[in-house]
Amino acid sequence: MRLNQKDILEIVPIRKPMLCVDEICEIDYGNYVEGYRNINKDEYWGNCHFVNQAIFPGTLIIETMAQISAFMFYKGKDTKTLESYLGRVDKAKFLKVVTPDCRMYIKAHLLTKVNNLTKMHCSAYVNNEKVATAEITLFFLNAV
């Protein structure tokens, strides 16, 4: 199942500049999700992080992982919302610098799920090179 920007805006209660998802490419409900974010220098961080060499902030890599991971529990049009909160980040590693004008793919696999708490292993890729990994724990407001 693929979800474009219009679909995403109908599902999540987040808007630009904090929306970190441009497209969801694949969903294997409760097991795996893959999506991407286009990284552009004209975003709010582009002229200040850092002034002479724009670098996509690590905190936004983590936020992108969290937002895309939530789509692992999207069942289709019957899903009312994917409202979730980032509960914890473990084992975060930033392997390469991410610069503007690229597409960053996120792949997330479920590690554990207990009630509305889910823990996923996430990896971020640019040009098929792994740039970051982390374990993300999300708390969903509705049952997943």
User: Which residue in 49, 109, 113, 121 is the catalytic one?
Assistant: 49
What the block records as the tokens of 73 is 């529990």
Residue (of 21, 27, 41, 8) closest to 75 by Cα position: 27
Residues in the chain: 144
What the block records as the tokens of 88 is 């914890």
Concerning whether 109 is annotated as a catalytic residue, the answer is no
Between CA 7 and CA 117 the distance in angstroms is 24
| Residues annotated as catalytic (active site), given as ranges | 49
